[in-house]
């Protein structure tokens, strides 16, 4: 049944790319005769015309982080796997991929400007300011949500194997492997910078070394067990220190080599997932079936809430992600050599991410019903580990599970680094800060809200809801509301150019309705809790205040957009002729 389900999703994604994706592309009237910013500037640094095959891989690695893994697992636990599969399959075709594609082509046709700059050009300065502040707050939730989830994967209970001769701590193994992986990335950056070996030699050395550090993590796992009362909080603070340092380092030293190695980890995890889904039962009959319920409830209660609207914001990046618009308009648009490449890169990469979400959901559904479920990072790590044993055998499960969990953390490190950098850039642009000292100050300010969230989060305890659930729903809501605002900015641009807007306007209205609905419910719930429990500095109070701010900023941008659409077409068209 699991292979049939996966095959059905693949068919839906392929048909979506072939038919609906082409329909959207025709409406944009892609023109290979147009000079793209990458070709026009071509400075050899930020603006570099890149072949679509390589650009697809780079873009896919940038967007396929931990969001499409954690979201589907959390939503699958709450509502069952069937609603998740339906939203991932059809939501990505008609909304998520359209969002990414639209953000990319809009940026290409606006000199590779960011989404906020496009909003400034077509809606106004107030819209630009609202979007910049909104993005900064949304990125704070990206950082805190993934920091807390990753910290939870670094904590575990030490177990004894091989008659008590070998002690193993699963959390310590992941922490050790992750630390070694980051160190390896730094070494690779220095080697590439100063020794300049050929890429094939670098790959031949450092990719196997990445697998070696996974094995090494299993051997020194107990050395990374923190002797403190709340190790999860301690690891969370350590990760935030990493964010501070990593986001200030030159990109050649850590970001680029870590991204390159992380891409291999991503593709290996994808290949392992495909092999496990389609061939797992051939080697281990009956072990890789759909064991979790297809549907559980219309109202999961707690932070997850009702299926409508919380299914959509909980899955988050698996079907639609506003964060992708930042990547599309921030880096990818500067590397597009022809307009027609925006279709496979923008639309196609998002469909590929939906398959990442499906594999993540598969790691949940193969768990026996009634099993006490850990956090999404542990579920994914164990699931990928089980899929990997189809290839290497069950005798190597400790290595396999550590690889799976480290794969999750590598995706998170990419997200955390980029999110912290983007947050710093926003503050530098808003306040016109320049220089290393002010860059460090902007980074510290960007990490202040996540630090406050981590410090005030309740400690993990049996029977107590994990702290990351306090952050995840608002993260997913802000992320998808950002996608709606991006589609809104694109829709205003298309309207002012007198072009068709239905393929961006309809998804925009749907996502806007769902996310504003979810945000209102969360703000109302937060303030109800404050009235009942009293005003204290905790995650509930902070979520209520931030949620209220996000709601106000979004409504402000909507009002400004309506005004802009009434003002008629722009004086200087920024796009090609309508079709």
Tokens of 385: 């580990």
CATH of the domain at 378: 1.20.1740
Residue 324, domain member (yes or no) = yes
10 Å Cβ neighbour count for 326? 24
Do residues 58 and 344 make contact, with C-beta atoms less than 8 angstroms apart?
no
Q: pLDDT at position 57, please?
A: 86
Q: pLDDT at position 259, please?
A: 85
10 Å Cβ neighbour count for 421? 21
Tokens of 358: 């499906």
Number of domains within the chain: 1
Do residues 81 and 302 make contact, with C-beta atoms less than 8 angstroms apart?
no
Q: pLDDT at position 575, please?
A: 47
The CA distances from residue 280 to 292, 361, 368, 376, 386, in Å, are 17, 16, 16, 21, 9
Tokens of 38: 């990458």
* Alpha-carbon gap, residue 79 to 73, rounded angstroms: 10
Tokens of 318: 């698996």
Q: Where do we find the tokens 């399959």?
A: 89
Residue 391, domain member (yes or no) = yes
Q: pLDDT at position 161, please?
A: 56
Helices (H), 284-396: 307-315, 322-330, 342, 349-365, 376-392
Helix (H, G, I), strand (E, B) or coil at 39: helix
Helices (H), 42-158: 52-63, 67-79, 81-91, 97-108, 115-122, 125-153
Q: pLDDT at position 569, please?
A: 42
The CA distances from residue 117 to 111, 129, 138, 490, in Å, are 10, 10, 17, 11
Residue 489, domain member (yes or no) = no
Strand partners, 528: none
Do residues 316 and 479 make contact, with C-beta atoms less than 8 angstroms apart?
yes
Tokens of 76: 């699958």
* Alpha-carbon gap, residue 443 to 139, rounded angstroms: 12
Whether the bond between 392 and the residue before it is cis, its omega within 30 degrees of 0, is: no
Residue 78, domain member (yes or no) = yes
Q: pLDDT at position 164, please?
A: 55
The CA distances from residue 294 to 291, 303, 305, 541, in Å, are 9, 21, 18, 35
Helix (H, G, I), strand (E, B) or coil at 48: coil
Helix (H, G, I), strand (E, B) or coil at 202: helix
Domain hosting 16: range is 2-467
The torsion angles phi and psi of 249, rounded to 5 degrees, stand at -75, 155
Q: pLDDT at position 64, please?
A: 86
User: Over its length of 579 residues, how does the chain's per-residue pLDDT go in tens digits?
Assistant: 999 999 999 999 999 999 999 999 999 999 999 999 999 999 887 899 999 988 998 899 889 878 899 999 999 999 999 999 999 999 999 999 999 999 999 999 999 999 999 999 999 999 999 999 999 999 999 999 889 989 989 998 877 555 555 688 999 999 999 999 999 999 999 999 999 999 999 999 999 999 999 999 999 999 999 999 999 999 999 999 999 999 899 888 998 899 889 889 999 999 999 999 999 999 999 999 999 999 999 998 876 789 999 999 999 899 999 999 999 998 899 999 999 999 999 999 999 999 999 999 999 999 998 888 888 999 999 999 999 999 999 999 999 999 999 999 988 888 898 899 889 999 999 999 999 999 999 999 999 999 999 998 888 877 777 878 878 999 999 999 999 999 999 999 999 888 999 999 999 999 999 999 999 999 999 999 889 888 887 888 889 999 999 999 999 999 999 999 887 544 444 444 433
Q: pLDDT at position 574, please?
A: 47
Residue 548, domain member (yes or no) = no
Residue 449, domain member (yes or no) = yes
Helix (H, G, I), strand (E, B) or coil at 220: coil
The CA distances from residue 249 to 259, 424, 443, 541, in Å, are 14, 13, 12, 34
């Amino acid at each position: 049944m699991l292979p049939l389900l996966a095959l059905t999703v693949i068919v839906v994604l392929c048909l979506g790319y072939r038919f609906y994706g082409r329909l959207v592309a025709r409406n944009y009237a892609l023109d290979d005769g147009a000079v793209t910013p990458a070709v026009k500037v071509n400075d050899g640094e930020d603006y570099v015309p890149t072949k679509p095959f390589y650009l697809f891989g780079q873009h896919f690695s940038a967007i396929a982080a931990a969001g499409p893994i954690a979201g589907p697992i959390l939503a699958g636990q709450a509502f069952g796997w069937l609603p998740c599969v339906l939203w991932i399959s059809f939501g990505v075709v008609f909304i998520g991929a359209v969002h990414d594609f639209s953000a990319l082509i809009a940026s290409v046709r606006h000199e590779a400007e960011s989404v906020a700059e496009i909003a400034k050009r077509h809606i106004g300065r107030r819209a630009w300011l609202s979007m910049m502040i909104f993005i900064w707050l949304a990125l704070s939730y990206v950082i805190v949500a993934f920091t807390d989830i990753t910290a939870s994967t670094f904590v575990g209970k030490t177990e004894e194997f091989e008659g008590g001769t070998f002690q193993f701590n699963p959390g310590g193994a992941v922490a050790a492997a992750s630390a070694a992986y980051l160190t390896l990335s730094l070494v690779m950056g220095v080697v590439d910078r100063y020794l300049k070996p050929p890429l094939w030699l670098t790959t031949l050395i450092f990719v196997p070394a990445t697998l070696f550090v996974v094995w090494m993590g299993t051997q020194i796992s107990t050395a990374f067990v923190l002797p403190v009362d709340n190790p999860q909080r301690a690891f969370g603070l350590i990760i935030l220190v990493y964010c501070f340092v990593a986001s200030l380092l030159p990109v050649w030293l850590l970001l680029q080599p870590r991204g390159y190695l992380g891409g291999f980890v991503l593709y290996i995890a994808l290949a392992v997932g495909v092999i496990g889904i389609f061939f797992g039962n051939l080697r281990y009959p009956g072990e890789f079936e759909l064991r979790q319920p297809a549907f559980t409830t219309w109202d999961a209660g707690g932070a997850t809430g009702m299926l409508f609207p919380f299914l959509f914001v909980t899955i988050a990046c698996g079907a639609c992600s506003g964060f992708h618009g930042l990547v599309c308009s921030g880096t990818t648009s500067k590397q597009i050599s022809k307009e027609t490449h925006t279709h496979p890169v923008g639309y196609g990469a998002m469909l590929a991410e939906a398959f990442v979400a499906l594999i993540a959901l598969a790691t949940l559904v193969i768990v026996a019903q009634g099993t006490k479920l850990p956090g999404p990072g542990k579920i994914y790590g164990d699931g990928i580990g089980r899929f990997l044993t189809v290839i290497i055998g069950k005798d190597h499960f400790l290595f396999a599970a550590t690889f799976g969990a480290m794969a999750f953390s590598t995706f998170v490190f990419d997200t955390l680094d980029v999110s912290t950098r983007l947050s710093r850039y926003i503050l530098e642009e808003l306040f016109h800060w320049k220089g290393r000292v002010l860059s460090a100050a902007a980074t510290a300010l960007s990490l202040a809200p996540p630090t406050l969230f981590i410090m005030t989060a309740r400690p993990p305890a049996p029977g107590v809801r994990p702290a990351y659930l306090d952050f995840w729903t608002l993260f997913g809501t802000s992320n998808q509301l950002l996608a709606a605002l991006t589609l809104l900015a694109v829709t205003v641009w298309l309207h002012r150019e007198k072009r068709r807007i239905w393929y961006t306007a309809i998804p925009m209205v749907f996502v806007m309705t769902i996310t504003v609905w979810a945000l209102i419910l969360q703000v109302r719930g937060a303030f109800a809790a404050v009235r009942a429990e009293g005003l204290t500095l905790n995650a509930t109070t902070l979520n209520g205040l931030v949620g209220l701010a996000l709601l106000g900023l979004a409504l402000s941008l909507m009002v400004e957009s309506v005004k802009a659409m009434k003002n008629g077409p722009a004086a200087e068209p920024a796009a090609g002729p309508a079709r």
